[in-house]
Structure 1
Amino acid sequence: MTLRISLRNGEPLIVNGAVLRSVGRTDLVVENGATILRGREVMKPEEADTPARQLYFACMMAYIDQSELQKHQDALLARLEGLMAALEAPEAKAVCIRFAQKVATGQFYPALADCRWLIGYETDVLGRTAKAA
């Protein structure tokens, strides 16, 4: 499966754990399987400051750091359990279940998309809560 990636000038890219940075606008074609995250998909530890963001960070680490997979999966399960307990909306719970199914089968990259949805949902709910207060 071929994957085409376009990077902006200076955008970082993680490939199989190695951090690369583009010089100028760069187009890459990946011709075989690799663990890849573009800079805009990478979250720094200090940015994981909400339950959904902590879930994203744990999933991201499980994806890019296979050498510590069990540790990251344990963190993922703990974060997911806490988030599921806090959620009330059926749609958000359904996204968590879909996320868990992907994680269970090692599909960490697609699971990150579910986390991005949860981050958006969380941001929206926190915004409404702040306005109501």
Structure 2
Amino acid sequence: MALNLTLKPFERVIVNGCMLRNGGRKSTIIVETRADIIRETDLLKPDAATTPVKAVYFLIQSALVDAEGRDKAAKAAQQRLAVLATTFSPELRGHVFTAANNVSLGEYFTALRDLRPLLAREAEVLAAPAEAPA
């Protein structure tokens, strides 16, 4: 099944570790074979990996874009996912297990997508004001 990738003007995308930038017009690229693809908007900068879920996201992202360091990043991501599995509620824990399974299968972008609900929950928790002691 082909992937239709519609790019906005000057939007960047990484394909198999190579950064590409679209020209000045909206365009569609059809990817007909398997490739590791991630849009620039889905990339997390290294200095933004400041929370446990973001750190795992960054490791999986690194496995996706860096074929040479893939095994090391994937192993580190699996170890951190194991820790995350003990911190989230049962409703969200399934996302951790699904992400870990996708990392094992080499489906790194799918694993990143699995982490989105965890990123949202983490942001909610960290944005909540601290309660005053009783």
TM-score, structure 2 length as denominator?
Answer: 0.88
In 1, distance between residues paired with 2:41 and 2:88? 29
Q: Note if contact 1:99-1:111 (Cα within 8 Å) is conserved in structure 2.
A: yes
Deviation at 1:58, TM superposition (A): 0.5
Q: CA-to-partner distance for each residue in 1:16-39, whole Å, 9 max, x for gaps?
A: 110011112221111211111111
In 2, distance between residues paired with 1:50 and 1:72? 17
Q: Quote the residue 1:77 is aligned against.
A: 78
Cα root mean square deviation, aligned: 1.6
Deviation at 1:131, TM superposition (A): 5.3
Deviation at 1:73, TM superposition (A): 1.6
Deviation at 1:45, TM superposition (A): 0.6
In 1, distance between residues paired with 2:82 and 2:64? 19
Q: CA-to-partner distance for each residue in 1:82-130, whole Å, 9 max, x for gaps?
A: 3233x241112221111111112221111111112211111112223x2
Moved over 4 A (4+): none
Q: Quote the residue 1:60 is aligned against.
A: 61
Q: Quote the residue 1:49 is aligned against.
A: 50
Q: Note if contact 2:63-2:69 (Cα within 8 Å) is conserved in structure 1.
A: yes
In 1, distance between residues paired with 2:110 and 2:75? 19
In 2, distance between residues paired with 1:73 and 1:16? 16
TM-score, structure 1 length as denominator?
Answer: 0.88
Q: Quote the residue 2:5 is aligned against.
A: 5
In 1, distance between residues paired with 2:117 and 2:18? 27
Equivalent AA in structure 1 for residue 63 of structure 2: A
More helix by share: 1
Which secondary structure does the structure 2 equivalent of 1:115 belong to?
Answer: helix
In 1, distance between residues paired with 2:49 and 2:65? 16
Which secondary structure does the structure 2 equivalent of 1:125 belong to?
Answer: helix
In 1, distance between residues paired with 2:9 and 2:83? 38
Which secondary structure does the structure 2 equivalent of 1:132 belong to?
Answer: coil
Which secondary structure does the structure 1 equivalent of 2:69 belong to?
Answer: helix
Aligned residue pair count? 131
Q: Quote the residue 1:132 is aligned against.
A: 131
Deviation at 1:132, TM superposition (A): 3.5
